[in-house]
Amino acid sequence: MHITVHYLTQIRRAAGCASETLDVPTDCTLEVFLHQLTERHDPAFRALLVDDANVIRRSLLFFVGDDHVELSRALRDGEAISILAPMAGG
């Protein structure tokens, strides 16, 4: 199935693109999808998404469509994910 991912803030910089569409196995959760993403990008991107123990960082916000979701969310064909590294610029 096809999943589109939109990158926001520092994640966009590290990914080098604003969005991309990936072909992933069906029955894929958000967490599995995110680990697949880290395999496709460089260490800077990976360091933003996962900690030293390869666990997805809890300080990131993940959305499917416009909804803030948990890592266990099952993804469906055609859905769009947004990944936000939260901002604090004041």
Partner 1 sequence: MNRAYHLCMHSFSLTDDERAIYEWQLWVQGFGEAGQLRLKQATVLITRCGGVGGTLAYYLAAAGVGRLVLAHAGELRSSDLNRQLLMSHAGLGKSRAEQAADRLRAFNPHVEVVPIAENISLDNAERLVAMADLVASCAPLFPERLHLNRYAVAQGKPLVDCAMYEMEAQLTTVMPGRGPCLSCLYPSEPTAWQRQFPVFGAVAGTVGSLGAMEAIKVLAGLGEPLVGRMLLCDLATMAFRTMQLRRDPACAVCAGVQSASRAP
**Which residues of the shown chain bind partner 1 in the complex (CB under 8 A)?**
8-11, 48, 51, 57-61, 63, 66-70, 82, 84-90
Residue 63 CB, shortest distance to partner 1, in Å, is 5
From CA 40, how far away is CA 51, in angstroms rounded? Answer: 17
Residue 27 CB, shortest distance to partner 1, in Å, is 23
Three-state DSSP class for residue 14: helix
What DSSP assignment string belongs to 27-39?
S-BHHHHHHHHHH
Nearer to partner 1, 39 or 66 (CB): 66
Residue 58 CB, shortest distance to partner 1, in Å, is 5
From CA 90, how far away is CA 17, in angstroms rounded? Answer: 25
